Amino acid sequence: METGVVILIGLFFTVAVYLMLSQQLVRMLLGIAILGNAVNMLIFTNGRLIREVPPLIPENLYSPDVVTANPLPQALVLTAIVISFSFFAFLLVLAFRAYQELGTDGVNEMRLAEPEDDQTPPQGY
C-alpha cells in the first residue's frame, strides 16, 4: 500500500515542478497547490499509514502498552492544509489583480521594468 502512495507522491512532485516552470500564472498556482498536497502526503506517509490503530492512549497509562498511531504527522498535515489554503488564496488574488492591471497572465508580458519598445541597455563599457 505504501509503495503505491510513494509512487503517487513522486508523480505529484513531478507534475507540480512541471506546472511551476510554466509561463502562465494560473499554471504556476496549480503547481503550487499540487506541491502543497504532495508535501502533505509525504509527511503523512512518513508517519506510517496505519488505519487499524487510533492515536489514542488509555487514560490510566502514561505511555502506550499497545501499538498506537503517531498523531504528530496528522497534526502537522492539518496545520499545513490551513496554511497552504491561505497561501493559495493570497496568490490567487494577487494573480487576479495582476491580470486586471496588466491584461495578461503571461510572465514574459508582465515585465514593466523592461518595456519591449524601449532601447536595450548597453551590453558593455
**pLDDT tens, position by position, 59-105:** 887 877 777 777 788 888 899 999 999 999 999 999 999 899 888 88
| Cβ-based burial of 40 (10 A; exposed 0-12, middle 13-18, buried ≥19) | buried
Residue 84 covered by a domain: yes
Say if CB 19 and CB 31 are below 8 A apart: yes
Burial class (CB in 10 A: 0-12, 13-18, 19+), 38: buried
In a domain, 21, yes or no: yes
120 part of a folded domain: no
Tally of domains within the chain? 1
Q: Which residues pair with 24 in a beta bridge?
A: 106
- The structure's pTM equals 0.74
CATH of the domain at 91: 1.10.287.3510
Q: Distance between CA atoms of 55 and 33, rounded to whole angstroms? A: 28
